[in-house]
Copies of this chain bind each other. A is one copy, B any other.
Amino acid sequence: MFLQTIDILGTIAFAISGVSIAMDKKMDAFGVLIIAFVTSVGGGTVRDVLIGITPVSWMTDITYVYVIFGATIFTVIFRQKINYLRTSLFLFDTIGIGLYTVVGIERGLAAGLHPIICIALGTMTACFGGVIRDILCNEIPVIFRKEIYATACILGGITYFILGQFPIPDNIIFMAAGSIVITVRLVAVKFKISLPSLYKNEEPI
């Protein structure tokens, strides 16, 4: 129940971020809806397809469709006001990626995959919705360029497997790993930390 509430808050935050970007690109109503959808469920869809869980998760639980549809309509109507919610949305989004990361990891474990692959699946679940959104909007995915977003997921995933070495109850591990993702991202945004670009300019003479 608690987890499902978080999941839905995360879905809403992702959908709203999709709507905002799609509207900036002057898409029509259908385009906006699709981008909202893809941003919310894209990561989990890629994960499910790669592992072989089909039909993919959002197809078998209609709740997501309603939530995304509602969030899209709400955002379109109250677009001018949505800025006041910016902090809440950022929090939902951050909590959402924390949750998505751990869910992705557990799907990988259930499929019997190696821990490193599970961490990759958790990171995909949290991040690839945004990647597909950016591709559909004809941008280089933002997480490849400047946000310490994926890194937070990877650190959370590593935490998950380190704690798994000790006799700690599963749900504590779940919460701890998710919290690491959330904390790393909050700290990074607060202090404007980002990964270095690996590009070096030629030294000017």
A interface with B by C-beta (< 8 Å): 22-32, 34-35, 45, 49-52, 54-56, 59-60, 62, 65, 76, 79, 111, 113-114, 116-117, 120, 131, 135-141, 143-146, 150-151, 194-200
B55 and A116 contact, CB distance less than 8 A: no
Chain B hits for A31, CB < 8 A? 141, 143-145
How far, in angstroms, from A146 to B25 measured CA to CA in the complex? Answer: 12
Partner of A198, one of B23, B52, B65, B138: B23
How far, in angstroms, from A117 to B32 measured CA to CA in the complex? Answer: 18
A197 and B26 contact, CB distance less than 8 A: yes
Which residue, of A23, A144, A200, has the highest number of chain B Cβ atoms within 10 A? A144
Q: A22-B144, A23-B199 are in contact. Are A150 and B117 (CB under 8 A)?
A: no
Partner of A136, one of B65, B76, B141, B150: B141
Q: A27-B145, A145-B27 are in contact. Are A32 and B65 (CB under 8 A)?
A: no
Chain B hits for A113, CB < 8 A? 55, 59-60
Give the shortest distance, in Å, between A125 (CB) and chain B (any CB). Answer: 14
6 A–B contacts from the bound complex (CB under 8 Å): A24-B199, A28-B197, A35-B144, A50-B56, A62-B116, A131-B136
B114 and A32 contact, CB distance less than 8 A: no
Chain B hits for A131, CB < 8 A? 136
B29 and A196 contact, CB distance less than 8 A: yes
A195 and B59 contact, CB distance less than 8 A: no
How far, in angstroms, from A136 to B150 measured CA to CA in the complex? Answer: 16
How far, in angstroms, from A195 to B34 measured CA to CA in the complex? Answer: 14
